[in-house]
Chain A
Amino acid sequence: MLGNLNTRVMLEYLPDIWQGFLATLMLSAAGFAGAMIIGIVACALSIQPLRWLRGPAVVYVDAIRATPLLAQLYFLYFGLPRLGILVPEMVIGVIALSLNSGAYVAEIIRSGILSIPRGQVEAGKSTGMTYLQRMRLIILPQAIRPTVSPLIGQAIVLIKDSSLLSLISVVELTRAGQMIAIDRFMPIEGLVATALAYLVLYYLLKLLAGVWVYQNRLPGRA
């Protein structure tokens, strides 16, 4: 099936694939940045003791994790205009990606924080540190390490999820691949070209994760 792949057509559409690649990269970067902000806030709310602040954060995380991204995307796509909020599809797409991944990011950070032994908190408490000092000086610096790999994993999921934005006619990688299918009726060529581009993104992130882990080895450990 792949033996008689029409590479000439694939090369001909290279500029379109490249544009789609850049668009996916930008959408994902923006989406992930938003997800980090939302995730950190939701996590902070969900681990602090005040119930009326914790409630909304827990509901948000549960609601996102319980429903499909496609439903969330359409909900915003049709729902926002009803509220009189008229923004480009691309912006709706980024909001959907941020809201969706934000819930997972919140859970990843939360489990990183919960993985720090209770004794660390008690050591900080017993020297008179405030909650924020314990978080900043003791817990968070230790919680970053176990969260980096799962966060990069979530970024990879987000990149793949961004293909759904093609359904609300945002032009990105998947959409660019579909063009080859539609214009030339060569669906396999389009799919292979996009798959290769996603693979490049995947390895870029994997490399990034490797570099971070290497540069942040525990001091004094090989």
Chain B
Amino acid sequence: MIEFSSLNKWFGALHVLSDISLSVAKGEVVVVCGPSGSGKSTLIRCVNGLEPFQKGKLIVDGTELGGSEASLRDLRMEVGFVFQQFNLYPHKTALENVTLAPVHVRKLSKAAAEERGRALLEKVGLADKMENYPHQLSGGQQQRVAIARSLAMQPKIMLFDEPTSALDPEMINEVLDVMVSLANEGMTMMVVTHEMGFARKVADRVMFMDRGAIVEIAAPETFFTTPKNDRTRDFLSKVLQH
């Protein structure tokens, strides 16, 4: 479903992604962790073309990235992205946030988009918040709207960039629960997070990145109990403490 082959990216002289090769199968959940600045965000932003790269190959859902603007748009319809800062549209209600792209990009009728939008907002536990504006919602509620907004496009892949790290601790679980149920439904997911409980529960593989490279990638049991690399062990001892 997602196929990186020796992908390299630079920001000027800074080598942010070096020789990334990784293949994510349909229905697989890959959790990405690593220290700040290691290139986690940059990596998943490449997957839906938010970041260009200079060398190597990336094929997502059969489309090779780096093609025309139109093929990129077609691909983005199939790849949902959830941001750390939610990025909800502040001038639109929760329901409008969710229906905007289905109506204008998927060309759904307004009624059909609203039906789909209501169902999704109900699913993420926001049946009573459809007409609220983002600033009238808590962080956890905003992030659930953002997830519903991505799902409304009925994507084949979902990417999450630290979806809970801007949230107060008591709101983290309401968002993780939505992601867990999504994973259980068989969604293909790449999730940048330091929520190791989530990784244990639903990840098929956990990946540790440092300085733009994949240091270690393994099934959660192996990854957490017998990490091979010193840097992974060091990192895990830090994040598992709290």
Contact = CB atoms under 8 A, between A and B. Distances in A.
Interface in B57-71: none
Nearest to A130: B73
Nearest to A116: B90
A122 interface: yes
Contact of A220 (B74, B79, B88, B132): B132
A6 B80 CA distance: 74
A127 interface: yes
Nearest to B100: A137
Contacts of A142: 89-91
B81 interface: yes
B90 A123 contact: no
Contacts of A124: 101
A115 to B, nearest CB: 13
A201 interface: no
A142 B76 CA distance: 24
A128 B83 contact: no
Interface in A207-222: 218-221
A119 to B, nearest CB: 4
Contacts, number: 70
A220 B133 contact: yes
A111 interface: no
A26 interface: no
B77 A120 contact: no
A129 B133 contact: no
Contact of A141 (B77, B87, B91, B153): B91
A126 B48 contact: yes
Given A130-B73, A133-B104, A141-B91, A125 B50 contact: yes
B98 to A, nearest CB: 10
Contacts of A119: 83, 85, 87
Nearest to B45: A122
Contact of A129 (B50, B83, B87, B105): B105
B89 A128 contact: no
Interface in B101-136: 101, 104-105, 132-133, 135-136
B132 A120 contact: no
A128 B133 contact: no
Contacts of B74: 128
B144 interface: no
Given A127-B101, A220-B135, A122 B153 contact: no
Contacts of B76: 125-128
B193 to A, nearest CB: 18
Contacts of B49: 125
A138 interface: yes
B43 to A, nearest CB: 15
Nearest to B82: A126
Nearest to B75: A128
Interface in A74-89: none
27 contacts: A119-B87, A120-B89, A122-B83, A122-B87, A123-B83, A123-B87, A123-B146, A125-B50, A126-B48, A126-B79, A126-B80, A126-B150, A127-B76, A127-B101, A127-B149, A127-B150, A128-B77, A128-B105, A129-B73, A133-B104, A138-B89, A142-B90, A142-B91, A218-B90, A219-B91, A219-B133, A220-B136
8 smallest beta-carbon distances between A and B, as pairs: A127-B101, A119-B87, A126-B81, A128-B77, A123-B87, A128-B76, A128-B105, A128-B73
Interface of B: 48-50, 73-74, 76-77, 79-81, 83, 85, 87-91, 93, 100-101, 104-105, 132-133, 135-136, 146, 149-150, 153
Given A123-B88, A125-B76, A126-B80, 4 more contacts: A117-B87, A122-B81, A128-B77, A141-B91
